[in-house]
Structure 1
Amino acid sequence: MASLTLVVEPRGKPIKKLPKTVQVTSDASTGEIYTKLAEVSGFSIHRLRITKGSDRTVVPNTKDATVDGTGLRDQSVLHVKDLGPQLGWRTVYIIEYLGPLFIPALFLFPLRPFIYFNFAQPLPDPSFFQLLVCALLTLHFVKREYETIFVHRFSNATMPARNIIKNSGHYWVLAGLNIAYWVFRPDSPAVSTQDSFLLYSGLALYIIGELANLNAHMILRDLRRPGTTERGIPAGLGFKVVTCPNYFFEIVAWVGIYLLSGMSWSVMLFIVVGSAQMAIWAKKKERRYRKEFGDKYKRKRFVLLPGIY
């Protein structure tokens, strides 16, 4: 066990109180470097990114890697970058889902006369299909908030606070304002439709999709031990068919809402944009599974949509 002196240099904007060197032992965890620099600089460890001066590779903030194991030696140079103010991922998701959780009911009830002021007054009462879509949208995002607080475990602790506007835009605008305005209009297709096929098929897809999505999330949660980022190989309903059945069942539930909305283009727009993003994530996850688990993992031909993608 040797004592090492690591040279510390800021990368990017200066960091007040950042020391010029830090003392660690060769068998110390790399997470200890973050802890020491965070204590001296007054920053959260999640706000710092430390890279090796020799090859610019990131020094992991973990208890599982040692200083010696990363190739750091006495007088090795560390570059420290300030990532800016951070928000916890759990907080980010809670904020993202708050918009579409409350916007539908606001549009359909207290704000309805003001939003649709250009229609003949008094406005007709919301139709059965409009009330149903509002209830199912609210239930969907209540479920999302519940999963965020009680189910999901996050491998990354934080993200830059400035990204919250960009991340929330997808849900607040596309799933909230966009869907609520068009589906709840007095002349929306959801007003005139009386189609029992849309009603029962839409409800069936929604219920199946939501329950199967929750089941997939529970499976994924149990693959990761509390307090760790270590994962097992997922198995269960849908996992033999596609890499990310949680994404697939999410789409199924939204197709149900699409049918119940009278096949509103606004819901379809949200489905298309969301599916495109989930397809990227699913492809990356398949590559990660293959790299992480090797021959133990049964490779999937389809990552998101069975028989299609």
Structure 2
Amino acid sequence: MNLITFPALTDAVIYTYGFYIFLSVFVFKLESSGTFNLPYSKFAKGQGVSPKVGMFIIYFLPILAYLYTWNSSDNPKLFYQWITLLAFVIHFGKRCLEVLFLHKFSGRIGMLGVFFITIAYSNIGLVTGSLHNHTPESLANQIPVWWTILGAVIFLIGQTGNLYHHILLTKLRSGNEKEYKIPNQGLFQKLVCPHYFFELVSWLGFAILSTYIDSFFILIIMTAYLSGRSNRTREWYLEKLPGFPSERKRILPGVY
């Protein structure tokens, strides 16, 4: 039975995973403290490119990166390869569609943000795609059906919850209105960033579908980044929006 796949612990692998842990702590401290927040959304500096263009690039290029690994492998495409491809494309394809047809943007996105986030997400596409598409048939066949079903269900819950709360945010603004308002529906009654919470639920589902420990490290990095950003977002709301409920947690119901 194969639930989580670990590589041989060579020096290179140990250094890589050590870097992942360092990166998680580093990005959490940068974002949560406000020392450096990636310049998009409410933390945009007023300069850069159209957020619709910038965000579409951010979410579309990782799909191309993943598809590159799909075409570079001669391994037979099993159900495992198809389900992981589908999950990755759904995750980033959904975000592309949201950028084009759902989100209402209030400012521009800094080129530094476009560059760093595109590199990070595209690297995720290359790393996970390479692992999935070069997985031997013997290893893929060891994954229990129930584990795959669990991953798919968690992934879809995350995607649905994330989309729902994005829709709630969009409904706060009418026409070309750019003013921030306090959201009070859905899990916004309990959390500052429930859309971040459900994004992490999606990454957990993807990691389970993947089975590779690398995907769980990606989940850890994303948790650190979004937790830090949710903390800074909470502070921003408390500073800028009078009457914002201070009892709301940041990203994890009842905990943080």
Report the alpha carbon displacement of residue 190 of structure 1 after superposing the two structures with TM: 6.4
Deviations 1:242-284 (A, max 9, x none): 210000000111111111112x122122222222111122112
Structure with the largest fraction of strand: 1
Report the alpha carbon displacement of residue 188 of structure 1 after superposing the two structures with TM: 8.3
Structure label with greater radius of gyration = 1
Partner of 2:86: 135
Partner residue of 1:168 out of 111, 118, 129: 118
Distance 1:211 1:276 in 2: 22
Partner of 2:223: 275
1:225 and 2:174 equivalent?
Answer: yes
Partner of 1:88: 50
What is the RMSD computed on CA atoms of the aligned residues? 2.4
Q: Taking structure 1 as reference, are residues 86 and 241 closer, same or farther at Cα in structure 2, changes over 3 Å only?
A: closer
Partner residue of 1:206 out of 146, 150, 155: 155
Deviations 1:3-36 (A, max 9, x none): xxxxxxxxxxxxxxxxxxxxxxxxxxxxxxxxxx
1:300 and 2:251 equivalent?
Answer: no
Partner of 1:66: none
Task: Report the secondary structure of 2:91's partner residue.
Answer: helix
Report the alpha carbon displacement of residue 304 of structure 1 after superposing the two structures with TM: 1.0
Report the alpha carbon displacement of residue 236 of structure 1 after superposing the two structures with TM: 2.1
| 8 Å CA contact 1:129, 1:190 repeated in 2 | no
Partner of 1:11: none
Partner of 2:66: 104
- Structure 1: unaligned runs, 5 residues or longer: 1-82, 114-122
- Structure 2: unaligned runs, 5 residues or longer: 1-44
Report the alpha carbon displacement of residue 184 of structure 1 after superposing the two structures with TM: 2.2
Distance 1:98 1:203 in 2: 22
Q: Taking structure 1 as reference, are residues 163 and 112 closer, same or farther at Cα in structure 2, changes over 3 Å only?
A: same
Percent identity over the alignment? Answer: 23
Amino acid at match of 2:159: E
Deviations 1:71-125 (A, max 9, x none): xxxxxxxxxxxx9x832122111111122222323322x2213xxxxxxxxx3x1
| 8 Å CA contact 1:101, 1:138 repeated in 2 | yes
Q: Could you say which structure has the greater relative contact order, defined with CA pairs below 8 angstroms and 6 or more residues apart?
A: 2
| 8 Å CA contact 1:223, 1:232 repeated in 2 | yes
Report the alpha carbon displacement of residue 196 of structure 1 after superposing the two structures with TM: 2.5
Task: Report the secondary structure of 2:189's partner residue.
Answer: coil
Aligned residues: 212
Partner residue of 1:288 out of 236, 247, 253: 236
Partner of 1:152: 103
